[in-house]
Every structure is written in structure tokens, then in C-alpha cells.
Amino acid sequence: MSSTTSTADAGLIGLAVMGQNLVLNLADNGYSIAVYNRTTATTEEFVARATDDQDVRGTETIEEFVAALSRPRKIILLVKAGEVVDKVIDQLLPHLEADDIVIDGGNSLFTDTQRRFEALAEQGIRYIGSGVSGGEEGARNGPSIMPGGSADAWPEVRDMLQAISAKAGPNDDEPCCDWIGPGGSGHYVKMIHNGIEYGDMQVLAEAYLALSALGNSPAEMATIFDGWNQGRLRSYLVEITAEIMAATDDDGTPMIDVILDAAGQKGTGKWTVISAMQLGQPMMLVAEAVGARMVSSFVDVRKRAAELLLGPESVGLGDLSVADVADAVYAAKLISYAQGFMVLADASAENEWGLDLASIARMWRGGCIIRAAFLDDIAEAYGRDANLVNLLFDPFFVDAVNASIPGLRKTVLAAAGAGIPVPAYASALTFFDGFRTARGSANLIQAQRDYFGAHTYERLDKPRGEWFHTDWAGTGGAATSGSYSA
């Protein structure tokens, strides 16, 4: 790691905002970096802005770029997820040699990363798919980095990635970057991070609706969110929400009041929900968050619906308090993270990734968008018991969720009565109540399935795994359709 070597320590392709900031972060940490961008003018402008003590070397062609790197080459890609990654890899491949290391730092779909990892391994190229979270500011000053793929490449890039990552822990010296696991696991963990990010944002957006309905102005909400940021809800997203509430447009109107309520999305939340469903895991709060963004985007249809469809006569929230809404935020977040970690545990078992859930929680304590005080508690819970069946079973979280659920329940009831949509809160509460119900209503589902399709059922008075069929209407026979479950 020195700027005196004739070849650069590492290279980066893709000088959009994340790429530029990551290069400057690397350079500030003493690494010499060769850069390449499809548009050469961008490279020239960027290199011209580097200071004398930042060793950033512009290159104009892929050949020149590869030749500028010390061996084994370490190449970071920060290009648009999808086909562009494949195209860049295709351009690079003829110039690479065995043992070179390619690190995809974009938001790639984990199955794409798995495919690229396997294809490049056949050519002796080591591939790392790494989630990088923290946006523009994180990339510049320390993101959370979640690398997975070729394990034997990790010792060769560890120092560099940990140097540029955020630091957390009691002394702010624990890197928010550690090895995640094989294949596409790094990008999988980043995808779940993003799904949880969607959930956290929706939970705060619902608090905004409820607090507004309680009569708080944006300036007053800035104070409320700021207060929340001093306690158990302390997190980057609450902090920026307070700042957003305080921001005003040129004419003094609160910024929040001039922004169209139609949310965009680039797909990682949707991927999270699809993956959870494929695993048979109900990551329902995130599903609601993705759905709420979809509903928000139907701007004109919603205007028409607002004219036609009735809400309740009374729009009052009764005696709902700000403290109840804070409890709702906290309880909903706990349930969302419990769901997220259920998916991580299941994906790890299914793919034999050996994910270390405590380590993942530690990596999310700093640098990333979901960074929060609360992740210390999650890291501690998995530190106490790496095989914790569910986050909500940890003694700390049992107490925390039981104490905050009444506020969530009150908020959902009040919002439902007033016709205020709180899909994430309602979903969290419904999950909680279903999860803590020892005997639910699926006996009826089983009876219905058996009635119309002879799908069979298990009996309370017989061991699990013994399947029974009833000829409910007296019209069927003894034949059954099998008891497998997908």
C-alpha cells in the first residue's frame, strides 16, 4: 500500500458518485488507485480534482487500466447492477490472469453474483460480490462493506477493505466489514440490509403520518424525531428524518410539504421479499413497505379513489400519544429485524453459507443506511447465543417487545379508526399476534384443503407426520393427493 510503487495497489471501474467517493476514501487511506470510466472526460475531471497526496491515476482504456495494476490485480467494479457488470467483466477477462481479484461493489442480485463467481472461478479469477452501504457520504468517509465469494482472496483484500470501512463498537475501532461467506452470500446480506432499510423507512413514514394527524407541524416533528434520536431509536434514518422535517424551501415552506408522495425503488426490497417467500419465510413488514411504495406511485389513481371511496366519519386519534407512536416504531422495528434475521438464518442453512449473524449485526452498526444503536443489542443477542431460534426469544428482546407492543397495538387501533394507513405497523402486530398464538386457525385451512382436494391433515391426538383424510361430503373415496408441502 504505497504510492511509490510503479503499479497501483488497486483499480476501480465506474466513476459515478459512489465510485468517485470510494476512490477518494481509498486514496486517503494511502492506497494508490488506477481508475477507468467509460466516458474519459469524467475520468479526466475526477483525476484533476484529486489532491497531491491522493495517488489517483486515470486510464483511458481497459488495457491501460489493467496494465496499471500490481499483481495479483485487485479490481473494484462500481457500475450499474445487471448487464453492465457482465459487460465490464467480459471486457476485463481477456486481460486478466489467474489469481486476479474482481470485486463487484454494486447492488447486484445475489444469484447473478453466484453465477459470475462460478464462471470466473473456472478461469482462475477470484470473485468477490460485496455489498457496500452508506450512500455517497458513507463511500467517502466509511461505508459498511459486506464481502463474500472467493474466500482465499479475503486475506489479500481484508486490510484495504477494512481500512476504508466505517468503524463501530465501544472504542469506534471495529471495522464494519468482515468476511460474509462463499458465492453470492455478500450480496445476499446486502439485499437483506436493503429490505430492512425499506422497512425502517416505511415505519418512520407511518410515524410521520400519525404525528401529523396528532397535529404536529414539520418543525415540531423535527423536534420529536430529534428526541427519538437521543434514545433507543437512535439511528441514521431517524437522524436524517429530523433534518428533513426541519428543512425549508426557498420561500420557507417545509420541504416535506413540497415533495410529491410517490416513492421510487430500484428493486432490492422486492428481491428481498421474493427470496424470503421462496424460502418460506414471512418477511411481511418489508413486503408491506414495498407494497406501500407501489401504492404511492399510483398518484392519479389515488386522486380518483380519494373522490370515490369513503373513510371513517371520525378521523380523531383518541388519546394516542407521541410516546405510543415511539413504541410503535420500536416494536415494529424489532419485529422487522426478527423477520430479517429469520430469513438470513434460513438462507444460510439452505445455501450452506455458514453466516455469522452476530458478525452481520456488528457490520451494520456503522456506515450503512440502517445503522442504529439497536444493532448493538442484536449483535449482543447473537453473541450470547449463535443458535438463537428467533431474535424475539432473546431475554433482552422478550422484555423490549413485550414493553413496546401496547404502544404498537394502540397506534394500529387508533390509525385504523381514523382511516390512516399504517401497513407496516399493522403487519408487525399481526405477525406478532400470530407468532405468539400456540393454537391458531390453520386447522380450518387444513380441513378445507382436505375437503376440496384430499390434501390430508395431521391430528392433535396423533404424532406429527401421520396424515389423515376424511370423506367430508360422503362423495369421495380413500385416495389422497399427497401431503408434501412446498
Burial class (CB in 10 A: 0-12, 13-18, 19+), 284: buried
Three-point CA angle 310, 315, 317, nearest 5°: 145
**Residue 439-468 contact track with ligand 6PG, rule CB under 6 A, x = bound:** ------------------------------
What residues between 353 and 392 interact with ligand 6PG by CB under 6 A? 368-369
Query: From CA 157, how far away is CA 163, in angstroms rounded?
Result: 10
Q: How far is residue 384 CA from its own chain's centroid?
A: 24
Stretch near ligand 6PG under the rule CB under 6 A, chosen from 213-221, 224-232, 236-244, 260-268: 260-268
Residue 94 binds to ligand 6PG (criterion: CB under 6 A): no
Stretch that binds ligand 6PG, among 41-49, 133-141, 398-406, 427-435 (CB under 6 A): 133-141
Number of residues that bind ligand 6PG (CB under 6 A): 13
Does residue 265 touch ligand 6PG according to CB under 6 A?
yes
Instruction: Tell me: does residue 264 bind ligand 6PG (CB under 6 A).
Output: yes
Note whether 107 binds ligand 6PG by CB under 6 A: yes
Q: C-beta of 134: minimal distance to ligand 6PG in Å?
A: 5
Q: CB of residue 369 vs ligand 6PG: minimum separation in angstroms?
A: 4
Q: Smallest distance, Å, CB 473 to ligand 6PG?
A: 50
Helix axes 268-279, 185-213, angle to 10 degrees: 110
Q: What is the DSSP string of 94-119?
A: GG--TT-EEEE-S---HHHHHHHHHH
Tell me: does residue 133 bind ligand 6PG (CB under 6 A). Answer: yes
The smaller minimum CB distance to ligand 6PG, of residues 55 and 112, is found at: 112
Closest approach of Cβ 101 to ligand 6PG, in Å?
Answer: 22
Nearer to ligand 6PG, 128 or 368 (CB): 368
Shortest separation between residue 2's beta carbon and ligand 6PG, angstroms:
30
- In angstroms, the Cα distances linking 148 to 93, 145, 189, 236 are 20, 10, 9, 25
Q: How far is the CB of 479 from ligand 6PG (least distance, A)?
A: 49
| Residue 75, SS3 per DSSP | strand
* Residues paired with 148 in a beta bridge: 129, 181
Query: Does residue 197 bind ligand 6PG (CB under 6 A)?
Result: yes
> Is position 170 an interface residue for ligand 6PG (rule: CB under 6 A)?
no
Is-catalytic flag, 313?
no
Considering the complex, state which of residue 194 and residue 351 has its C-beta at the smaller distance from ligand 6PG.
194
For residues 134 and 181, which CB has a smaller minimum distance to ligand 6PG in the complex? 134
Residue in this structure with the C-alpha cell 452498526, named with its chain if needed: 365
Min CB(358)–ligand 6PG separation in Å: 20
Q: Does 134 bind ligand 6PG (CB under 6 A)?
A: yes
Exposed e or buried b per residue across 14-36, where buried means at least 16 C-beta atoms within 10 angstroms of its C-beta: bbeebbbbbbbbbbeeebbbbbb
Q: Which of helix, strand or coil describes residue 50? A: coil
Name the catalytic one among 74, 174, 197, 333: 197
C-alpha gyration radius of the chain: 25
Q: Is 268 in the site for ligand 6PG (CB under 6 A)?
A: yes
What is residue 130's three-state secondary structure? Answer: strand
Assess 186 for contact with ligand 6PG (CB under 6 A).
no
Determine if 266 is a binding residue for ligand 6PG (CB under 6 A): yes
Using CB under 6 A, pick the residue from 32, 150, 194, 427 that binds ligand 6PG. Answer: 194
Determine which helix (DSSP H) or strand (DSSP E) holds 144, and give its type and residue range: strand 144-149
Residue carrying C-alpha cell 407494497: 291
Q: Which residues, 6+ apart, have CB-to-CB distance to 293 below 8 Å?
A: 198, 202, 263, 264, 265, 269
- Grid cell at residue 445: 385451512
Check 74, 190, 270, 410 and give the catalytic one. 190
Cell numbers linked to 123:
478461469
Options 122-130, 153-161, 263-271, 437-445: segment touching ligand 6PG (CB under 6 A): 263-271
167 annotated active-site: no
Count of H-run helices and E-run strands, the chain: 20, 9
Task: Choose which of 30, 72, 82, 135 interacts with ligand 6PG (CB under 6 A).
Answer: 135
In sequence order, which residues have a C-beta less than 8 Å from that of residue 284 and are 6 or more positions away? 339, 427, 430, 431
What does the binding site for ligand 6PG look like in residue numbers (CB under 6 A)?
Answer: 107, 133-135, 194, 197, 264-266, 268-269, 368-369
Q: Which residues are catalytic?
A: 190, 197
